[in-house]
Amino acid sequence: MSHHLDSPLARQDPRLDISDVYVFRGGTGTVFVMNVNPLSGGGGFHPEARYEFRIDTDGDAVEDRTYVFTFADRDPDGDQAFEVHRIDGAAARFRDSAGTVIAQGRTRQALIGTGGARVWAGPAADPFYINGAAVGAVKEAVANGTPVDFAAVDHGHATNLFAGTNVGAMVLEIPDSAFDVAEIGFWGTTALATDAGGWRQINRCATPLVNTIFHPDDSQRASDYNTTHPTEDRLLYGPLVSDVVTKVVAAMRTNDDPRAHAQQVVDTIFPDILRYRIGTPANFGFAARNGRGLTEPTPEVMFALVLNKAVPLGIDAGSAAGVPRPDFPYLAPPV
């Protein structure tokens, strides 16, 4: 799984659970996607939550701009009114910052906001695809420091674990002119209002499968990861990732210097942010990574990165729940 129900905290309310985020070139600018509520897409969006698109513009892993989606209660038809706020500068880091409203509307309607921003929110087919046996075999190998059991990966009868499932999606397309830099970093977070009047971060997501591969699904460690900030990643999680990657690569004998390979993995995935060069095609690939498109084989890329060995899925984008649209809002309609 990418980040599908990846921690006890996220499981408490799937509407706050981010399954995946994407950033890629669209028809009019840079497209940011956040998908939540995996395996269904039903239930709408939480009316007491913030869905935050956090953008770093100077390479320090600290947000310089945040776009925030907030939703009202569902109406009898299941739709919700929502707003999108833009917060700039140092204020983008703090949840008590109001920012400026750039779009208002209702779910399942394409909107044009301030400055040419395009906005959409609603149910969509989940574009993520994976062979469940493959991810299970990789997770077990990483957790135990043992070789991947390739016999357990049934390539002959491989199926997508998320075939026929939906997500709740938020799509934001920002014109290139809104950015005065060549490269940005992006990650998504969700936060829930607390009884004390503040906010509690529930989930975060950028690079696919990081939490899934390195932190057991039902562990406190998985919940903790979702509540921290990318600037803390190297300190909090670098040593653990280095240790487990060293052990599994040594067991598989896929590199003459397992510890050096493990350090390369740490340097690649932390801080956990998707980097993207404005105006260029997205490519989450084996040789290089630039954003993330909707149909890319991200599990195979991540498995190869961690293990230094290919783990074929036996499926491709044709196994996904739907075919992405060629234009805004890009995601396939719900199945």
The DSSP code for 292 is: B
Q: Please give the model's pTM, rounded to 2 decimal places.
A: 0.95
Average pLDDT over residues 292-307: 97
pLDDT band at 39 (very low <50, low <70, confident <90, very high): confident
Question: Around 260, how many Cα atoms within 13 Å sit in the side-chain half-sphere?
Answer: 4
Most confident residue range from 1-15, 68-82, 148-162, 216-230 = 68-82
pLDDT at residue 7 above 70? Answer: no
Whether 46 and 40 have beta carbons less than 8 Å apart is answered as no
User: If you average pLDDT over residues 239-264, what whole number do you get?
Assistant: 98
Confidence tier at 197 by pLDDT (50, 70, 90): confident
pLDDT reading at 218 higher than 90? no
Q: What is the pLDDT of residues 90-143, one digit of tens each?
A: 999 999 998 999 999 999 999 999 999 999 999 999 999 999 999 999 999 999
**pLDDT > 80? residue 174:** yes
Q: What is the pLDDT of residue 165?
A: 95
Q: Which residues contact 318 (CB under 8 A, 6 or more apart)?
A: none
